[in-house]
Amino acid sequence: MNGILNNLLFVTPKRKLIYATDIHLGRPNNLFEQLSCSFPGLLTLGVHTLDLSPRDKELHGWAARGLAYTCWMTYADQATGLGPEEMTVDTRGGKWMGHVEKWNAEGRLGGVPPGLQEVDKVVNGHRDYTNRKRPHLLRPEVSHTVHLVFELYDHQ
């Protein structure tokens, strides 16, 4: 997980939203997929179940909250209220951990870690990302999870 936090989490340059992307040929590919919005749950699960150092618990928790907030904002930014499947993101904001280290070195000014500040939604105008695939697909993973939850409660 620390490899992901150190190498695959970036911050958008204007609104300072955290997003995860892939590396292709040593460079970020600038693509943020809606499926990455399941990653905050995985981080949160680790924070609450694994024997992590206090620093890792803190970092993983911040990353989870920041990514979840970014996912929420990508939905809030859309006129339909449904987030895009894929977005091309402006990577000029840099790596998230670089922002966190600077924030720590400066005495944690403002009290809120980078990427966790609340921002205004942007329905029209520059969002630090552009929709690469506009239609929102109902994910089979989501419907499968809902089905399992319903089955669990039907048997109790």
Which tokens sit at 149?
A: 């939850």
Dump the DSSP string for 8-54. TEEE-TTT--EEE--EETTEE--EEEGGGGGHHHHHHHHHHHS---H
Is residue 58 over pLDDT 90? yes
Q: pLDDT tens, 66-102?
A: 988 888 888 888 887 777 888 999 878 999 999 999 9
pTM: 0.84
Q: Is beta strand 27-28 parallel, antiparallel or unpaired with respect to 31-33? A: unpaired
Q: Phi-psi region for residue 12, left (φ > 0), alpha (ψ -120 to 50) or beta?
A: beta
Domain ranges (residues) in the chain: 2-154
Is residue 115 over pLDDT 80? yes
Is residue 141 over pLDDT 60? no
Confidence of residue 139 (pLDDT cuts 50, 70, 90): low
CA atoms of 43 and 40, how far apart (whole Å):
5
